[in-house]
Structure 1
Amino acid sequence: MRRWTWGIGLLVLAVAVTACSSSNDNNEINGNKTSNESTGGKTVVTMAVVQKDPGGWLEQAEKAYESKYPNVDIVIKEYVALPERSPSKVINVLGEVSPADLEKYRNAINTDLMSGKGADIISVSELNIEKYADKGVLADLGALMEKDQDFDSANVFGNVMDAANGGGKKVVAPIWYDIHFVSSALEPKQLKVEDASWKWSDLLLQGAELAKDLPGDLEIMGGVAPTALLRKIVMSDYDHYINQEEKTASFDTEEFVGLLNQLKELYGKGMLSDNFDKAIENRDIFRDQSLASPLIALETLQSKRQIWNPPGNGKHSGLRFSSNMMLAINSKSGVTEEAWKFISYLLSEKAQSNPGMWAGLPMNKAAVASKLKRNGSGMMVFGTTDKSSVKTKEPAEVTAQERERLMAYIGQPGYFHGSDPRLMDIVETETAAFFAGEKTADTVAKLIQNRIKTYLNE
């Protein structure tokens, strides 16, 4: 399930948005239309996304680019429309794209790519990137970067770009990204973690022991639904559960059934919860969070909380990244260089310094520094969407030392989970019935096993 949300406490993000109704909104990207066709003497570059960003940044970037290059027409098609916006309307952006809508997008893009048609630029965050890279339907962005004399790869975070491509051939470019981590308010003398080797089973065991021994009616973790937590656990040890090369799965096992029952028991006892009640009072042992803006990242580093990389399986090290705006270019595009030019503009300091980009960490280094000098567009408001409650702060002065500390942290090597989002959706949707008490753990494990094996062998 795809959500425009992150971290604890981001219950409502109120943003005053001026509506940007693009003249391209109603244009369809027809699979039978070649991308290098011109309209009125303009070169048309088409782009397919699941959904545009709620802040309107992508539309603003489109207009700015077309103003700079009047001979280019950027046509963006979103497959799931955002709620209608109006000038100065305060919007609640904790919406989500349904699994059914994601399937429609994946199927449409798959048909286009495998038939050599479709959009020039494609949002691939919700696709199995490795599958399409192996089939050669995604253009070599690395070659385009080298050929483009106006693009300096040193201006963007190379650690994130490399991680998004598994350290290999560059076929995708994250436009923005999040860094995931686990934190705790407990002091090191109370809680020590070896995050280079810990697993979710260690977190659950250690958290349960501390919640039992320490005063204050503590919980292991809050603010995460059981299906979402299970998805995190499976994704962190993806190769253990799914072998895509051999097309096998390991869900119909005593181990997985035991994991389901363990989580259900912990939620039933209140040791895990899907609300923030105890977290707001700092009565949670662990907190699953993400850094989604430079200021949030800086404030997190300056806090007294302990911070660790998320649990894994020992095969990955460093920071854990994710992005819901990763772009690739269709290898069959007739306007490959023009498509890259637009992506490179989206990665530029000018585009990424725009306050409309608040949904993630900028890929552009200078834009990160720029956003540390302002309080951004929109304030975090807890428990309300009332515009009158939005209060702006005076921009805090960030010292050079603080900025360097942040840049050093987010510049560390890391990884993206190379999992197939569609398989993770199967795990999350099928286990919902178990946690709701409608099906047994054994039944759900068998359903997941059968569905995933069927998918792997399609």
Structure 2
Amino acid sequence: MSRILGKPCLAVISIISFLSLTACTGSGAVPPSANDGDGGAAGSGTKTVSLSVMTSDRFLELAKQKFEESHPDINIDIKEYAAAPDTGMKGPNTTIITKPDPKNTEKYVSTVGTELMSGKASDIIVMNGLPYKKYADKKLLENISDLMSRDKSFQQSDYYTDILDAMKYKGALYTVPIRFGLNKWLGNQALLANETIDDANWTWQDFKSLASKWLTDRNNDGKPDVYPLGYIEPNALIAMMLGANYAKFVDDAGKKAKFDSPEFIQMLKLAKSMYDEKIIPADNTDNNNVVFNPKSNIMMAMDMYSMPKMFFDGKAAYYNPPSENDGRGASFTTNMPVSINSKSANKKEAWEFVKFLLTDDMQSVRELNGFPVNRNGAKAQAESLKTLGTGEGGGGKGMRLNVNGKELALQPAADQDIAAIMNALDNVKQYAESDLKISDIVSSETGPFFQGQKTAEEAAKTIQNKVSIYLQE
């Protein structure tokens, strides 16, 4: 198996990490419809459990198939609000992960939010972009922690409890991640060989202090020979800086904003100074001429194993991004947080399906397209890397990557590679929380600041006013 890539870009590395996966398939866009309240019987003695998701994928379709085979009295109705875009790439060993269209996301959030408030939402909801704390406060989401504790067949010790705990609100889970991704930077070890970086504790100011000595212009052409950080858009940088620090600016209850605080104003000024002082280039530059590439979101074990081999001439290592959070540990995101509608007439059946998504079997399938929250699933995913290049386990015989004209053969992972991946997962503790509406406000209102049209204080005041209005809705 061979793949040809042009200039490396971590935003599309998922093309590589999913070489061995089955292509995503969707059932096509399905118009959203309300649960009929009586279980939507599709046949004598059966119940129908509805699930709302913006765009379905092969994992959900496979889960539906397998669950219905083992639960003939329950049908799963996947309500897809936007079909996956046609990438033009087909084949049993190709999966392309694309960023969702913001307009589709906004429409999904608005439509499902309205359904929840009107009592007409699906039994199960994939909460991407939806403010789960807001709906939990309105008692519209089931307490999943209670379901877990009452179900003797569900062993919480089989899961990464730090990840589950990180998503709790007021001591309970109202949405559970089915899969997750890690926020990591790739560091250029050729340039960092003599550096000691405490990435478990460093802050953004610590990074900037270190970055100043990496900034060099040996040929005196007015441009740095090496940039401390690869190119990243200002709004993406602010989103990254907020990341696991979200709770510093929006209280845990989601009622009060603190964007006019000295801490946020200082964050804005620090971010802008990194562009002004050329710590971050004005546009894309050669990936080998940066100390850190900030665009990596590690989606699964294959990502973690292959990326360091693909960048900086194979001399790359992972680092935790800087953080202002007092609680340390790697941060994570999830693109499949699942909740159960508290008004559902099928809560028992809905929990059975959510629980099924978390089983060893489903968390071990290649179609998961993310790190499993189930420990046994994570171990199986990592262990599968031992078959790379052997033709076993879907690894693809003779798997080769072509990066910038250089061919790279992925060799089977060694025991120490597997151990490193499992150790990294054990250290994941911080949820990089976000709220779609707040993210849009921050992105929009920081634009004039980065362009020099507003002061940090003015931008922060505008953000504070708009977010406060939104939180009171």
Q: Do the two structures share a fold, i.e. TM-score over 0.5?
A: yes
Secondary structure, in 3 states, of the residue corresponding to 1:310? coil
Query: Aligned residue for 1:101?
Result: 104
Change (3 A) 1:49 1:261: same
Q: 1:365 aligns with which of 359, 372, 375?
A: 375
Residues 230-269 of structure 1 correspond to what in structure 2 (within 5 A)?
230-243=238-251, 249-251=257-259, 260=268, 263-264=271-272, 266-267=274-275
- For 2:349 and 2:462, how far apart are their aligned partners in 1? 45
Change (3 A) 1:26 1:104: closer
Q: 1:420 aligns with which of 428, 435, 442?
A: 435
Aligned residues: 439
TM-score under structure 1 length normalisation: 0.80
Change (3 A) 1:155 1:255: closer
Residues 18-29 of structure 1 correspond to what in structure 2 (within 5 A)?
18=23, 20=25, 22=27, 25=28, 27-29=30-32
1:248 Cα deviation from its structure 2 partner:
5.0
Moved over 6 A (4+): 213-216, 300-304, 377-384
Change (3 A) 1:297 1:168: farther
Answer yes or no: is the 8 Å Cα contact 2:26–2:83 preserved in 1: no
* Structure 1 unmatched ranges of 5 or more: 1-5
Answer yes or no: is the 8 Å Cα contact 2:29–2:82 preserved in 1: no
Of 338-347 and 291-300, the range deviating more from structure 2: 291-300
* Percent identity of equivalent pairs: 26
Q: 1:327 aligns with which of 338, 342, 364?
A: 338
- For 2:30 and 2:284, how far apart are their aligned partners in 1? 42
Query: Aligned residue for 2:233?
Result: 225
Query: Aligned residue for 1:125?
Result: 128
Query: Aligned residue for 2:4?
Result: none
Query: Aligned residue for 1:3?
Result: none
- For 1:26 and 1:370, how far apart are their aligned partners in 2? 33
Query: Aligned residue for 1:193?
Result: 197
Within the alignment, does 1:210 sit opposite 2:218 as a pair? no
The residue identity in structure 1 corresponding to 2:380 is S
Of 257-266 and 305-314, the range deviating more from structure 2: 257-266
- For 1:287 and 1:398, how far apart are their aligned partners in 2? 27
Query: Aligned residue for 1:396?
Result: 412
Residues 60-209 of structure 1 correspond to what in structure 2 (within 5 A)?
60-84=62-86, 87-88=90-91, 92-98=96-102, 100-165=103-168, 168-186=171-189, 190-209=194-213
Answer yes or no: is the 8 Å Cα contact 1:106–1:126 preserved in 2: yes
1:60 Cα deviation from its structure 2 partner:
2.0
Query: Aligned residue for 2:51?
Result: 47
Secondary structure, in 3 states, of the residue corresponding to 1:45? strand
Query: Aligned residue for 1:341?
Result: 352
CA RMSD across the alignment: 3.8
Q: Deviations over 1:379-430 (max 9, x none)?
A: 896789xxxx9x996761543x543443233123512134434212211233
Secondary structure, in 3 states, of the residue corresponding to 1:117? coil
TM-score under structure 2 length normalisation: 0.78
- For 1:91 and 1:118, how far apart are their aligned partners in 2? 30
The residue identity in structure 2 corresponding to 1:130 is K
Change (3 A) 1:85 1:96: closer
Secondary structure, in 3 states, of the residue corresponding to 2:146? helix
Answer yes or no: is the 8 Å Cα contact 2:35–2:50 preserved in 1: no
- For 2:379 and 2:69, how far apart are their aligned partners in 1? 26
